[in-house]
Structure 1
Amino acid sequence: MANQIVADARDVSVDISFLMAAHNAAPWIETAIRSALDQAGVAVEILVVDDGSVDGTASVVARLAAEDPRIRRIPLDGAQTGAPRGPSAARNAALKAARGRWLAILDADDLIVPDRSRTLLDLAAATNADLIADNPIPFSGGFDPHGAGMLERGREPYLFTVDLAQYLTCNRMLTPGVKLGYLKPMLRADFVRRHGLRYDAEVRIGEDFLFCAAALAAGARFVVSSYAGYGYRRGPASLSHRLHLADIQRLDAAFAAWAEQRERSPEIGQAAHAYRDSLATAQVIARVIDAAQGGHWLRGAALALARPRAWRLLTGSLMAAAGNRFKKRLRPALPDALPAGQG
């Protein structure tokens, strides 16, 4: 009987395939999966790729998959326990196995509201979109579906389209404004397959940004709605919480290789140059912070002097690092230097 249920589930036409990369997501992944299963008015499948987790992620997914055949565990070639290959490799594995008419990104520590998928599918049909995204609601504790989104909601929901130059410009690192690269899009599967779109397996941050940029370069119509149906968890466990130098360098190399292969208008060329310039600044900041945290203040200062535009962005981080280091040096002497109760 169980085998028949699985066979029946796989014969059903799938509206949306959720691509879920998971690494040490045991505390949250059940919430994410169940939110996808609870989507109203659509047929879904959830493709979970466990990327070298060392916690209970695998057992949670196995238990849920045994209960519902719409959950599919996808193996990740080359993944080793404790040595993750990264979200791009995991997304590619899910992408290869997906059967849905649409592909939806859902991170293993996030969640979506029940009407999100149906709402976005209807908006895509009305606007002829190949790529559609909504307004993520950041949260760190309990999720409030009426909380403030990344985009201004306004009195009534609204839509806007995004072209490639705009997308590159709004995603420059270390600049003010909403970063559309944080949006978790849905993509028309036949468009992705027709243009052979894949994630760059070496990239560990900005992977969705690069994927969407490639889709836009291939002619995708990208529509964004102020409707908010995606809960974006923020916290120390989030991959984007801390940017590491090696990750920024991988993103820079992948973007440079991608940009060189594309015919560009002057506007897109200027936007691509500005985006790479922001990555260069981010790399300097990462180097300076690494040097400061290692106690190499002169080296950090020399690096900062070579990139004046990084000074303003570095001030707060360096003062905090210096303050923490100064406190650590003073702490052992405080009991001897001050009478009890006056510290």
Structure 2
Amino acid sequence: MNHPARWWHALPDGRIQCDLCPRDCQLHEGQRGACFVRQMQDGGMQLTTYGRSSGFCIDPIEKKPLNHYYPGSSILSFGTAGCNLACKFCQNWDISRSKDMDRLLASASPQAIAEAAVAHGADAVAYTYNDPVIFAEYAIDTALACRARGIRNVAVTAGYIHPAPAREFFAVMDAANVDLKAFTDDFYHQLCGGHLQPVLDLLAYVHHETACWLEITTLLIPGHNDSPAEIGRLAHWIARELGPDVPLHFSAFHPDWKMADVPDTPPATLSHARHIAQDAGLNYVYTGNVHDRAGGTTFCPSCQAALIVRDWYDIRHYELTTDGNCPHCKARIAGHFGASLGRDGKAFGPHRIPVHISS
């Protein structure tokens, strides 16, 4: 349904400008922004997907991916439609690039989502599948309803958002995984329809100026952003600007959307990228979308003990102290860890449970 949107201003010529993201879309009456879900109506801006979703699922938190935020816990995931970037390699293009509002078959108020998370035993709610930045009003209202019920909030986003709305958005998020899609502006401009610097600024803001736990994912695409030199620059920037304890995930590409002619990412590329990032000084580097036991394991940066061993989204071994320290050398492991692994000391595991919510 439509809902009054925020972060816009009127222009002298009768149009309005959206101030949510760096695209700065300028709209005539009835026109939609590049994200397709923010529209000028009756002289103002409306969010056309408020309260509507492409579906709800209970996932393991490791699927977001978050490896240092309450491992083994479960999370209620949902998204809407549309996106403010135009990535030619989008792996969720049927949702993020959809202009068909009929795909949004589920409807739920913020309060209903919070109640569903409680009822299904989820520890958190994830705003994901498409980018929650474009439905920020709905995400913020839902996050506030969740916090009132003791439910944490997680954003999975490309981080393409202006500073003012980012302050309000990340003030109610407890953790985030931000896609750092590449480390060149040419990549962002040619393959995503955006720019690199706003994302770097957002990463620094979230890490240094909010209480939101941050992890980063880079999808490695053969021949486009997977050169050792670029990976090294990316990792050195994270180590220098954010510090060595921000987890970095390198994820494998598979042919999709408008890049169906590009081959899968070889597992060796991910392993090499992981070693490059470790050599750059990062303490927690992971591989994703491939079967790689070492690349899924959390090692103590001090004594190198294998503390959390993962097989895909399944935790096979866990030995952190209740306060998140290595039991061998007592070094502190960066992140947020509960008194036990998941609920009742058991990890949620590699499950995916569809959920029906009715407002």
- TM-score for both structures, normalised by structure 1: 0.29
Structure having the higher Rg: 1
TM-score after normalising by structure 2: 0.28
More strand by share: 2
